[in-house]
A and B are shown apart, each in its own frame.
Chain A
Amino acid sequence: MIPPPPVGNTPAHALTLEHVDYQAGERRILKDISLQVASGESVAIVGRNGAGKSTLLHVIAGLLPVSRGEVHLDGQPLSHFTRKAIARQMALLPQQARIDFGFQVHDIVRMGRHPHRGRFRSASPQDEAVVHQAMAVTGTEFLAQRLITEVSGGERQLILLAQALAQEPHFLLLDEPTANLDIAHQCHVMQLLQRLARAGIGVMAVIHDLSMAVRCFPRLILLDDGTIAGDGAPTEVLSVEMIKRVFGVQARFYQDQDQGVPLLWFTM
Chain B
Amino acid sequence: MRPQGVPAWGSVALFSGLLGVVGIAALAIGSVNVPFERTIAILLHQLRLTDEVAWTPMQATIILQVRCPRVLMAALVGGGLALSGAVMQGIFQNPMADPGLLGVSSGAALGAVLALTLGLAMQHYLILPGFAFLGGLAAACVVYGLATSGGKTPVATLLLSGVAVSSLSAALTSFMLTRSQYSMMREILFWLMGGLEASSWDHVRLTTPVVLLGVALILLFTRDLDILLCGEQRALTLGVDAQWCRMLLLTLATAVTAVVVSLSGTVGFVGLIVPHMLRLIVGPQHHRLLPVSFLGGALFLILADLVARILVRPQEVRLGIITAFVGVPFFLYLLRTQRRGLEPL
Stretch at the interface among A103-111, A226-234, A257-265: A103-111
Stretch at the interface among A11-19, A86-94, A192-200, A214-222: A86-94
Q: Give the CA-CA distance A93 to B233 in the complex, in Å.
A: 9
Q: Quick check: is A100 within 8 A (CB to CB) of the other chain?
A: yes
Q: Quick check: is A145 within 8 A (CB to CB) of the other chain?
A: yes
Q: Quick check: is A114 within 8 A (CB to CB) of the other chain?
A: yes
Could you give 21 example pairs across A and B, Cβ below 8 Å? A62-B236, A63-B236, A63-B237, A83-B240, A90-B237, A91-B238, A92-B237, A99-B231, A100-B341, A101-B229, A102-B279, A103-B284, A104-B4, A111-B227, A114-B223, A114-B227, A114-B238, A119-B220, A147-B2, A160-B234, A167-B238
Chain B's closest residue to A103 (CB) is B284
Complex interface: chain A residues within 8 A of B340 (CB): 100
Q: Give the CA-CA distance A167 to B240 in the complex, in Å.
A: 13
Most buried by B among A82, A103, A167: A103
Complex interface: chain A residues within 8 A of B236 (CB): 61-63, 83
B239 touches A115 (CB 8 A): yes
Name A residues whose Cβ lies closer than 8 Å to a Cβ of B: 58, 61-63, 82-88, 90-94, 97-104, 107-108, 111-112, 114-115, 117, 119, 145, 147, 160, 163, 167
Q: Give the CA-CA distance A93 to B229 in the complex, in Å.
A: 15
Q: Quick check: is B208 within 8 A (CB to CB) of the other chain?
A: no
Q: Quick check: is B16 within 8 A (CB to CB) of the other chain?
A: no
Chain B window 228-246, contacts with chain A (Cβ cutoff 8 Å), 1 for yes, 0 for no: 0111011011111100000
Query: Could you tell me the distance in whole angstroms from the C-beta of B242 to the nearest C-beta in chain A?
Result: 9
Interface pairs A-B: 5 shortest CB-CB: A87-B239, A84-B239, A115-B239, A101-B284, A92-B237
Chain B window 248-281, contacts with chain A (Cβ cutoff 8 Å), 1 for yes, 0 for no: 0000000000000000000000000000000100
A87 touches B229 (CB 8 A): no
A94 touches B234 (CB 8 A): yes
Other-chain residue from B2, B239, B241, B285 in contact with A107 (beta carbon distance below 8 A): B285
A83 touches B241 (CB 8 A): yes
Given contacts A61-B236, A91-B238, A104-B283, 10 further A-B contacts (CB under 8 A): A63-B237, A83-B236, A83-B240, A84-B239, A102-B2, A103-B226, A103-B285, A111-B223, A111-B226, A111-B238
A87 touches B283 (CB 8 A): no
Chain A's closest residue to B90 (CB) is A101
A87 touches B284 (CB 8 A): no
Chain A's closest residue to B338 (CB) is A100
Other-chain residue from A88, A93, A114 in contact with B240 (beta carbon distance below 8 A): A114
Query: Could you tell me the distance in whole angstroms from the C-beta of A113 to the nearest C-beta in chain B?
Result: 9
Other-chain residue from B233, B234, B238, B284 in contact with A102 (beta carbon distance below 8 A): B284
Q: Give the CA-CA distance A145 to B283 in the complex, in Å.
A: 13
Complex interface: chain B residues within 8 A of A94 (CB): 231, 233-234, 237
Q: Give the CA-CA distance A85 to B284 in the complex, in Å.
A: 27
Chain B window 303-345, contacts with chain A (Cβ cutoff 8 Å), 1 for yes, 0 for no: 0000000000000000000000000000000000000110000
Q: Quick check: is B11 within 8 A (CB to CB) of the other chain?
A: no
A145 with B4, Cβ < 8 A, contacts A98-B231, A112-B238 known: yes
Complex interface: chain B residues within 8 A of A97 (CB): 230-231, 233-234
Q: Quick check: is B93 within 8 A (CB to CB) of the other chain?
A: yes
Other-chain residue from A86, A98, A100, A108 in contact with B239 (beta carbon distance below 8 A): A86
Chain B window 132-143, contacts with chain A (Cβ cutoff 8 Å), 1 for yes, 0 for no: 000000000000
Complex interface: chain A residues within 8 A of B239 (CB): 82-88, 114-115
B226 touches A87 (CB 8 A): no
Complex interface: chain A residues within 8 A of B234 (CB): 92-94, 97, 160
Q: Name B1-59 residues within 8 Å CB distance of A.
A: 2, 4
A111 with B237, Cβ < 8 A, contacts A100-B93, A119-B220 known: no
Chain B's closest residue to A169 (CB) is B237
Q: Give the CA-CA distance A97 to B237 in the complex, in Å.
A: 12
Other-chain residue from B230, B233, B283 in contact with A99 (beta carbon distance below 8 A): B230
Complex interface: chain B residues within 8 A of A101 (CB): 93, 229, 279, 284
Q: Give the CA-CA distance A60 to B83 in the complex, in Å.
A: 37
Query: Could you tell me the distance in whole angstroms from the C-beta of B32 to the nearest C-beta in chain A?
Result: 46
Most buried by A among B2, B226, B284, B340: B284
Complex interface: chain A residues within 8 A of B240 (CB): 83, 114
Complex interface: chain B residues within 8 A of A90 (CB): 237
B233 touches A63 (CB 8 A): yes
Q: Give the CA-CA distance A236 to B223 in the complex, in Å.
A: 47
Complex interface: chain B residues within 8 A of A147 (CB): 2
Query: Could you tell me the distance in whole angstroms from the C-beta of B91 to the nearest C-beta in chain A?
Result: 12
Complex interface: chain B residues within 8 A of A112 (CB): 238
B285 touches A87 (CB 8 A): no
Q: Give the CA-CA distance A154 to B299 in the complex, in Å.
A: 42
